[in-house]
Amino acid sequence: MPPEYGDPSRLDGRLEDLAPRLGLALTATERERLLAYIALIQRWTKVYNLTAVRNTGEMFTHHLLDCLAVVLPLRTGTGTAGQGSLRVLDVGSGAGLPGVILAMLNPAWQVTCVDAVAKKAAFIRQVAVELGLTNLHGVHGRVEAAGTFKTPEFDLVTSRAFASILDFTTLTRPLLAVGGQWAAMKANLSVQEQAEIPANVEMFHVEQLEVPELNEKRCLVWLRPQECTDDSAQQPRQ
């Protein structure tokens, strides 16, 4: 890892110390891959502006630790399905956050990252090649566009500050498999955003997250389709 990306041994040590606080026991190989991924983001950002976060320390906390904080909750929240070949869609993935990290730490999952910006989808594909992640797929397109996906059935659809929950669930509902669910990473769930959730979507859990070394609010909002038999199915809650 080039010097401008920080001292690899120092970052590796921090990652090894902090991972247990997130319920993770990372192997040396996993830590090496995670840090190599951050290095790739920094290298590409110099040319393609993948992310506004450029400082190594901030990238470590605001990107890496922030996304690692949802790994265990997503495994737990998907139950026995998460122990097998879970089909995951990361919407508006940007530089692959959290999709790349989910694919890296859950090799049985098939993770697809979709982004409307071509260079970001290309970056994710390059990450898959360089880090040997055969279960990671980068797709360029708008999630709501017909023909973007050949197999529009995902067990879990996730996002990280992609859009409001109303837009997130509305745009991706056709891609959700039977029995599938959504998990939206949020800094905060406002009363207004919660009130706008359609009646045919059930918000069944808001999981508070604690990210080490990041003094900011984080939560994971769990949702699933709810059958409605009346014409108000698409209307917000009153």
Please compute, for residue 43, the number of CA atoms within 13 A of its CA located in the half-sphere on the CB side: 12
Measure the CA–CA gap between 233 and 226, rounded to whole angstroms. Answer: 9
Measure the CA–CA gap between 207 and 181, rounded to whole angstroms. Answer: 14
In this structure, what are the phi and psi dihedrals at residue 220, rounded to the nearest 5 degrees?
-120, 120
The answer to whether position 51 is within a domain reads no
The answer to whether position 91 is within a domain reads yes
pLDDT single digits (tens) 117-155: 999 999 999 999 999 999 999 999 999 886 788 666 899
The answer to whether position 196 is within a domain reads yes
Query: How sure is the predictor about 18, in pLDDT bands with cuts at 50, 70 and 90?
Result: very high
From edge to edge, which strands make up the β-sheet containing 176-186?
A: 136-140, 110-115, 87-91, 154-160, 176-186, 218-225, 201-209
Measure the CA–CA gap between 186 and 92, rounded to whole angstroms. Answer: 14
User: What's the average model confidence in pLDDT over 153-161?
Assistant: 94
pLDDT single digits (tens) 189-198: 999 999 999 9
The answer to whether position 16 is within a domain reads no
The answer to whether position 131 is within a domain reads yes
Q: Give residue 5's pLDDT.
A: 41
Q: Where are the alpha helices (DSSP H) in the chain?
A: 8-18, 28-48, 56-58, 66-68, 71-77, 99-105, 118-130, 165-172, 191-195
The answer to whether position 56 is within a domain reads no
Q: How many folded domains does the chain comprise?
A: 1
The answer to whether position 44 is within a domain reads no
pLDDT single digits (tens) 35-60: 999 999 999 988 888 887 777 888 99
pLDDT single digits (tens) 101-119: 999 999 999 999 999 999 9
Contact 77, 180 (CB under 8 A): no
Taken in order 163, 127, 118, 41, is the CA torsion positive or negative?
positive
CATH number at residue 177: 3.40.50.150
User: What's the average model confidence in pLDDT over 206-232?
Assistant: 86
The answer to whether position 42 is within a domain reads no
Q: What is the pTM of this model?
A: 0.90
Range of the domain at 120: 69-225
